[in-house]
Structure 1
Amino acid sequence: MLVGLRTVIYPTRDIAAAKAWYAKLLDAEPYFDQPFYVGFSVGGFELGLVPDGEPSTAGVQAYWAVADIDVAFRRTLDLGAKEIEPVTEVGGDIRVASLADPFGNRLGLIQNPHFDPTAVR
């Protein structure tokens, strides 16, 4: 059935602005760039942008892995995101945080020392 996460898609009303912001956040240009969809490769997964969507911080929540959540959280704020939930220890040395990107979508961050990248299929 399900074999693992592949793509997280964020709707935006301004795909050009969203593409520029995520390129800056990720320090990478998209590998797929069309008017109907922009895709960034992020550690073997995909962060996608679609135009004419309705951004929201409600609904499905995806958490993107970071090596240092304090640094990533501050950098994301510095790029114009807004805090939803601060960096929080949730147990087992796992730390999470949530922000709203400038387009109104929830962007989750996670620092999880127990994550095993070799288990990704």
Structure 2
Amino acid sequence: MNNNILGLRTTIYMVPDIEKAKSWYTKAFDTDPYFDEPFYVGYNIGGYELGLQPEKVGQKRADNIESYWGVKDIRKEHERFIKLGATEHTEIREVGGGIEVTTLLDPWKNVIGLIYNPHFKLP
């Protein structure tokens, strides 16, 4: 089968104050942005793009879309995000095969998913 879908490339979080969000995400992901403009801040997180964009006036928020960032220790990272000002959206739970997931809300109510998956290997 010739699949033209190559996999996840970018997750973008809309924020009302891009400078405050840049400061928070730099600490939360322990990474400096590689691209930093008023209209977009981009981070390289393990080869994947995390982007921040200014929220548009009247834009509605949704928590029905979740992207999960892989972690080595889900409990440690969950606690670290909470200490940085995130709030728990869903508790850490095992979803089968030793895979654990949780979601948190950043200070602007964007959903950030964390996943521990001992079976996941990049191609």
CA distance, structure 1, for counterparts of residue 60 and residue 24 of structure 2: 15
Aligned AA (2:53): V
How far is 1:16 from its partner?
0.4
Match of 1:10 in 2: 13
Tell which deviates more after alignment, 54-63 or 95-104.
54-63
Structure 1 segments unaligned to the other structure (5+ residues):
none
Q: How does 1:1-121 map to 2 (within 5 A)?
A: 1-53=4-56, 54=59, 56-117=61-122, 119=123
**Deviation string, structure 1 residues 7-46 (Cα, Å, up to 9, x no partner):** 1000000000100000001111100000000000000001
CA contact (8 A) 1:81 1:102 kept: yes
Residues of 2 paired with 1:94 and 1:52: CA distance? 33
Normalised to the residue count of structure 1, the TM-score between the two structures is 0.93
- Structure-2 separation of matches of 1:85 and 1:41: 25
TM-score (norm 2): 0.92
The change in CA–CA distance for 1:46 and 1:109 in structure 2 (over 3 A counts) is same
Q: Which runs of 5+ in 2 are unaligned?
A: none
Larger relative contact order (CA 8 Å, sep ≥ 6): 1
> Which is greater in Rg?
2
